[in-house]
Amino acid sequence: MTVLLRRVFFTAVALVSLFLGGVVCLMCQVLAGRDAPTYRVEGQVVSHTRGAFPVAGDEGVESQSVSIDASGRRYDITAVDPGLDLPAGQPVVLDISKADGSVAYLGAGGGVVDLRPGVVRPVLLIFAALLALGAVYIGAVRLNLYPPVATWLALALGALLAPVAVFVRV
């Protein structure tokens, strides 16, 4: 019975570790994509609309949506930033991410709008996942599922190699 129980716990620890390691890798990839190199294209605003954009339950926030034709491709951008209040025909410059093809920056009339995702949520998720991973491994050591040295070596190696692998890929 003890052998069966250890196998079940070992499998559970392995699956939870894989999931948490995946969260760390995904968030590192989000951060790497956020700061990826960009290339510049020029275009012009095709259309502009305003609308309500619910943010944290507040219905009064006004969003700006613009469609831009640049280098034969159409980019549709929606954000809460008032810098997107651009008239149709306005010339713009877009910085496009080489990692995923999303618009990182929009420049128009001397102003620049940063359209990249924030860093707070990915950093908090990385921290929480690594904390949970440490708790899982501490629990595994206390239940004598793994030898302590092997557990901490695996945790340190995984925590170091997962972000490195993602950054090298990008």
- Domains along the sequence of the chain with CATH: 2-33+120-169 (no CATH), 38-114 (2.40.50)
Q: What is the pLDDT along the chain (170 residues), one digit of tens a residue?
A: 666 666 676 677 777 777 787 788 788 878 888 888 889 999 898 887 777 666 555 566 677 788 889 888 898 888 777 777 788 888 999 998 888 788 888 888 888 888 888 888 888 888 888 888 877 777 776 666 555 566 566 666 666 666 666 555 54
pTM value is: 0.63
SS3 letters for the chain? CHHHHHHHHHHHHHHHHHHHHHHHHHHHHHHHHHCCCEEEEEEEEEEEEEEECCECCECCCEEEEEEEEECCEEEEEEECCHHHCCCCCCEEEEEEECCCCCEEEEEECCEEEECCCCCHHHHHHHHHHHHHHHHHHHHHHHCCCCCHHHHHHHHHHHHHHHHHHHHHHC
